Structure 1
Amino acid sequence: MTRIDDQNLILDTDSYKSSHFLQYPQGTTRLFSYLESRGGRYPVTRFFGLQYILDRYLTRRVTAEMVEEARDLIEAHGEPFPFEGWMRVVNVHGGRLPLEVRAVPEGTLVPIHNVLMSVTNTDPELPWLVGWFETMLMRVWYPTTVATQSYHIREIIRVALDRTSDRAAEELPFKLHDFGSRGVSSRESAGLGGLAHLINFMGSDTLEALRVARNHYGADIAGYSIPAAEHSTVTSWGKAHEVDAYRNMVTHFGKPGGVFAVVSDSYDLKHAINVHWGETLKQQVIDSGGTLVVRPDSGDPPAMVRLAVNALAAKYGTTTNAKGYKVLSHVRVIQGDGIDEQTIRQILDNLEVDGFSAENVAFGMGGALLQKVDRDTQKFAYKASAGLIDGEYRGIYKDPVTDPGKRSKDGVLDLVLEGGRMITKAYKTFDTDFPGSLMRVVYRDGELLVRDTLDTVRGRA
């Protein structure tokens, strides 16, 4: 049995796509497909991740060996295979895919029900390629959905900081930390999802995101982390020496301007705060000149954060900012267990009710950030909307009576700004230069034409 090449991009599709070259009407020379969010949890999406997909996969050249390998596998699998078409890609186009991709700039906030990306063929002999790569290109739903959720949580935290903090702009970038790398399905998901989060924030423990950012978005360092304890680095000292584990953290990482986090619920969170941190080690923490971040990690998140903030306030004291809210001295709290949009809202509401600034707490979010999303979170769809058949334009759409929400758009689609809002414009011809478009050609005939930096993407919100 011969191993299959992991880099064979022909095989990155759904099985039934291989039969579609026989299914379009005779005389079809061009197809146009588009991507949109048909609704979902959030009213606007933050588009992100297409540059990575195009750069990593669609800039590869198709080889005759790939075509032969794909034919052998797909025909044995029970499907017909467009061998001559794929060999045309190799022999006529030098292995470069004759496709054109237009998209909104990455990082752009776009209201739902609008076109985000479009794909058409540049070789009239190969219109079925537009559908062949739906599977791969559709996966932009994932980084876009992560970026969208992260952005909306950012707005929740921003509003709380604006109300209760004098340092909102300085605090906000580090308020939601990515703890999700171990909770995703693959290394690639960690990198792409982790980077999607980092277009909104600057804090992450997902190293894969830094690699993807450097390789595909020109970012030297995309995010930052701090020294932090886990339960094993505390409990390995034994319960009788819990305080020594904490003292060791202060000794190594407590320094002027430094920040370090210590999980403190290994045995008894209340005792750890009131005795170990609040009495035994209090002066060492203060004298270090650093900031201790206490991490509760069990129990009801809103209740535990409330307990921790009030207990630390009683031991370390507070100052009152210009907006009249209390700010902890020398210490902060991070909650990294059970964090999602709902618990973040509850925690921030509790802080404000108790008279504390939102700057006293940060959040670590894991699986709920990078994994607890799917294509239907924002109802993403990639659909054909126009064709050129026997030289005549034809609108293509579906309109199922059983689900009107799945009615797809028809036309050669573009995104424009009219009356101060984004709308999708439909042309009934392929002969347009898209006047006033908010989209741009990012890929054509195997070449990535636009390479945005991470800084540029971040700036578009």
Structure 2
Amino acid sequence: MQDYNPILNVDSYKTSHYLQYPEGTQYVSSYIESRGGQFKEAVFFGLQAFITQYLSQPITRNDIEEAEELCLAHGVPFNRAGWEYILEAHQGYLPIEIQAVPEGTVVPVQNVLAQVVNTDPKCFWITSYVETALLRAIWYPTTVATQSREAKKIIQRYLEETADTLDGLPFKLHDFGARGASSGETAALGGLAHLVNFQGTDTVAALVAGRRFYNAPMAGFSIPAAEHSTMTSWGREHETEAYANMLTQFAGDGRVVAVVSDSYNLWNAIDNIWGGELKERVENNGGTLVIRPDSGDPVDVVTQTIERLMRIFGARINSKGYRVLPDYIRVIQGDGISLHTIEGILAAMKARKQSADNIAFGMGAELLQKVHRDTMKFAMKASAVRVNGLWRDVFKDPVTDTGKRSKKGRLALIRRGNGELRTIREQDLGNRQNLLQPVFRNGKLLTEQSLEDIRRRAAVPHNEDELVMAAVS
């Protein structure tokens, strides 16, 4: 982001909070958690990208001048002395420490994910000041990674029930969400969060983010694919030629090409073009043609599409007793895809004895944009302060909403003997390992995590042995 001023990456009311703490306040400790919401567990992701992009850069005198001018004109106080102290005593780097679970860790909701505390008692106010930017940097990619993993769990379950292998799982949900995201940065972070679980994407910004922030030379993959403009530009009377050109340009041994086929009449395209004039070319192209039906009720259209293709091209029966199209032809549904419709489509396919092997999905705004902070009820709350040398608990407990009750004290996250993750007070840690580890302190990224390691932590176990291993790892 050009001309980024970290002092202004904040809510207006935060600028007055340095005047509101008790006299003698030295340290403020806050934590971030998902308080519940749509999912039962969270895939923690995105903090390293935020640290690298934003917290690793110092503030400047120009930042202070700009922030003071804006805040005073806006009608709120400005802590010039505090920011000048950070500039002079800390060379402009924020004097905070952030602890967090390793990215990719799957944590049940209502547990601490990250904890922040100031490292200089003169900067007690800075902990809460960074809430706006830090919470946003965590809730969004974590929510996308979590939703993507929930989709993976559904798809994996149906593959286990109806397919011979899970080999195709990494490419069963493709990210089509870049154009539906609110900004380029949203697409990059959300797209990369999806790639924690899958490897198929058309969001190029996510690939750049993977290289820049998570040591991933190539985080995801795609294939040549048609859109409606490239097909309809041939004219309706030349629809066959449009499809034939796709095979001419992109088919071949080991190659995959996707062709949207509903520009006019999907059933005619299947029965009379792909299954008629171009049938021999499809059968002998050496690679895989992926047909994309894109309109109508997703459950009905997908199952009918597969049924018609099987009638034309045949199908084999796998070891689970389900029908599979020949390897040279598959289907991708990219319209109306959500967790609900993925489940509905796969359930309907299973009922018709169609293997989940036959289908892949593309998800757009539903994946990257139709989430918000309350999808998983994310919050950052102060839980402890040190005043005049003594730590005291800080918490909220609204009588009108017990779901917003916050935690008390400096916190730790442990894994119990049965594998369960649990939040406890840091003072009760004893000799147990705290899964919250320092990742940032005073302008420095302390540990660098790769996308490969994050993917390993977030993997969905698919048999009892892996469930046990995941619980104790």
TM value normalised by structure 2? 0.95
Partner residue, 1:343: 341
How many Å apart are 1:6 and its aligned residue? 2.4
Partner residue, 1:100: 97
How many Å apart are 1:63 and its aligned residue? 1.2
Once the two structures are superposed, the pairs formed by residues 251-290 of structure 1 within 5 Å of their partners are: 251-290=248-287
Measure the CA separation in 1 of the matches of 2:377 and 2:2: 32
How many Å apart are 1:427 and its aligned residue? 3.7
How many Å apart are 1:323 and its aligned residue? 1.4
Partner residue, 1:193: 190
Once the two structures are superposed, the pairs formed by residues 29-428 of structure 1 within 5 Å of their partners are: 29-139=26-136, 140-168=138-166, 170-329=167-326, 330-420=328-418, 421-427=420-426
Tell me the alpha carbon deviations over residues 123-162 of structure 1, each in whole angstroms, 9 at most, x when there is no partner: 0001110000000110110000000000011010001001
Secondary structure at the counterpart of residue 393 of structure 1: strand
Measure the CA separation in 2 of the matches of 1:275 and 1:5: 53
- Whichever residue aligns with residue 398 of structure 1, its letter is K
Alignment of 1:438 with 2:435, yes or no, is yes
Query: Contact conserved, 1:395 with 1:428, CA < 8 A, in 2?
Result: no
Query: Contact conserved, 1:414 with 1:434, CA < 8 A, in 2?
Result: no
How many Å apart are 1:426 and its aligned residue? 1.4
Measure the CA separation in 1 of the matches of 2:201 and 2:391: 49
Secondary structure at the counterpart of residue 122 of structure 2: coil
Secondary structure at the counterpart of residue 270 of structure 1: helix
How many Å apart are 1:321 and its aligned residue? 1.2
Secondary structure at the counterpart of residue 182 of structure 2: coil
- Whichever residue aligns with residue 425 of structure 2, its letter is A
How many Å apart are 1:399 and its aligned residue? 0.6
1:433/1:14 CA distance change after superposition, 3 Å = farther
Partner residue, 1:449: 446
Measure the CA separation in 1 of the matches of 2:441 and 2:296: 53
Measure the CA separation in 1 of the matches of 2:427 and 2:413: 15
Measure the CA separation in 2 of the matches of 1:90 and 1:79: 21
Secondary structure at the counterpart of residue 376 of structure 1: helix
1:5/1:200 CA distance change after superposition, 3 Å = closer
Measure the CA separation in 2 of the matches of 1:201 and 1:265: 27
How many Å apart are 1:64 and its aligned residue? 1.4
Measure the CA separation in 2 of the matches of 1:342 and 1:436: 38
Secondary structure at the counterpart of residue 67 of structure 1: helix
Structure 1 residue ranges (4+ consecutive) displaced by more than 4 angstroms after TM superposition: 432-435
Partner residue, 1:16: 13
How many Å apart are 1:434 and its aligned residue? 8.1
Measure the CA separation in 2 of the matches of 1:419 and 1:457: 23
How many Å apart are 1:393 and its aligned residue? 1.1
How many Å apart are 1:5 and its aligned residue? 7.1
Count of aligned positions: 455
How many Å apart are 1:435 and its aligned residue? 4.3
**Percent identity between the aligned chains?**
53
- Whichever residue aligns with residue 340 of structure 1, its letter is S
Comparing 114-123 with 351-360, greater Cα deviation is found at 351-360
Comparing 109-118 with 447-456, greater Cα deviation is found at 447-456
Measure the CA separation in 2 of the matches of 1:199 and 1:359: 21
Comparing 57-66 with 173-182, greater Cα deviation is found at 57-66
Measure the CA separation in 2 of the matches of 1:102 and 1:305: 46
Query: Contact conserved, 1:37 with 1:380, CA < 8 A, in 2?
Result: yes
Secondary structure at the counterpart of residue 168 of structure 2: helix
Comparing 374-383 with 57-66, greater Cα deviation is found at 57-66
- Whichever residue aligns with residue 273 of structure 1, its letter is I
5+ residue gaps, structure 2, are 459-473
Tell me the alpha carbon deviations over residues 200-225 of structure 1, each in whole angstroms, 9 at most, x when there is no partner: 00000000000000011011100000
Secondary structure at the counterpart of residue 419 of structure 1: coil
1:284/1:339 CA distance change after superposition, 3 Å = same
How many Å apart are 1:428 and its aligned residue? 5.7
Secondary structure at the counterpart of residue 68 of structure 1: helix
- Whichever residue aligns with residue 391 of structure 2, its letter is Y
Comparing 412-421 with 306-315, greater Cα deviation is found at 412-421
How many Å apart are 1:76 and its aligned residue? 1.0
- Whichever residue aligns with residue 72 of structure 2, its letter is E
Measure the CA separation in 2 of the matches of 1:439 and 1:458: 19
Measure the CA separation in 1 of the matches of 2:156 and 2:106: 17
1:427/1:449 CA distance change after superposition, 3 Å = closer
- Whichever residue aligns with residue 424 of structure 1, its letter is T
Query: Contact conserved, 1:335 with 1:363, CA < 8 A, in 2?
Result: yes
1:372/1:5 CA distance change after superposition, 3 Å = closer
How many Å apart are 1:68 and its aligned residue? 1.4
Query: Contact conserved, 1:393 with 1:428, CA < 8 A, in 2?
Result: no
How many Å apart are 1:419 and its aligned residue? 3.2
How many Å apart are 1:307 and its aligned residue? 1.0
Secondary structure at the counterpart of residue 262 of structure 1: strand
